[in-house]
Amino acid sequence: NAGVTQTPKFQVLKTGQSMTLQCAQDMNHEYMSWYRQDPGMGLRLIHYSVGAGITDQGEVPNGYNVSRSTTEDFPLRLLSAAPSQTSVYFCASSAPGRRTYNEQFFGPGTRLTVL
The residues that touch another protein, with contacts defined as CB under 8 A, are 31, 33, 35, 40-45, 48, 50, 56, 58-59, 90, 92, 101-104, 106-109
Nearer to another protein, 57 or 80 (CB): 57
Closest to another protein by CB, 17 vs 58, is: 58
Q: Which is nearer to another protein, 17 or 27 (CB)?
A: 27
User: What minimum distance in Å lies between the beta carbon of 42 and another protein?
Assistant: 4
Q: Tell how strand 87-94 and strand 76-78 pair up.
A: unpaired
Query: What is the sign of the dihedral through the CA atoms of 29, 88, 86 and 41?
Result: positive
Question: What SS3 string covers 78-93?
Answer: ECCCCHHHCEEEEEEE
